[in-house]
Structure 1
Amino acid sequence: MIKKYFYKIYEKILGKFDDNDGKLLRQYYKKRFGVDVGKHSYGMDFSNIAQGTKIGAFCSIASGVKIGLMNHPMQYVSTNPFLYYKNRGVC
């Protein structure tokens, strides 16, 4: 629990010394969470983002959104991950 607060404080301090494009915070997110975050993107809850995910520049991520955690096959084009069911395939 103390570790969680330490990381929050560390992120705030890092943000204060960061330049306009958030380079230091983006490097921190890459190292700690394994997520590439583009310039000026915000709203990320890293517990809901899979490692190796790349988020583009100027993205706003709503709370509760899960990115890369669904088992959506990349060979199918869709904006809705609920079309694919592991046991039945594509519906």
Structure 2
Amino acid sequence: MRYDTPVYFQKTISGEYDPNTGNYGEDSVDETLRYASVMDTSIKTMRLIYGEIRQGSLCIQLQNHYTDVFDRIRIGERIYTVDSSRKLRVKHTFVVSEVQ
């Protein structure tokens, strides 16, 4: 198994309030890079998690646990949300689906 795919864990930071204008600033996104093994989700796993077969579902496996807080995951130009997470002894796996 090769851990060669760059995976970005994203955390959205809300814009700060400006009392002069009464508006909030633009949101920003903080990304953390990790390299992972990314593969398609098997049909058996999709039926267990979703109850149906979904397109755009991936399995991501990291060599170590990821403990930071995050909102979503970016792989390439596509954004994914975490549907299932599992910590093994030294690895961390995520089943994700694409945000449309």
TM-score bracket, shorter-length normalisation? under 0.3
- Higher RCO by CA contacts (8 Å cutoff, separation 6 or greater): 2
With the length of structure 2 as denominator, give the TM-score of the two structures.
0.20
Structure with greater strand percent? 2
Bigger proportion of residues as helix: 1
What's the TM-score, normalizing by structure 1?
A: 0.21
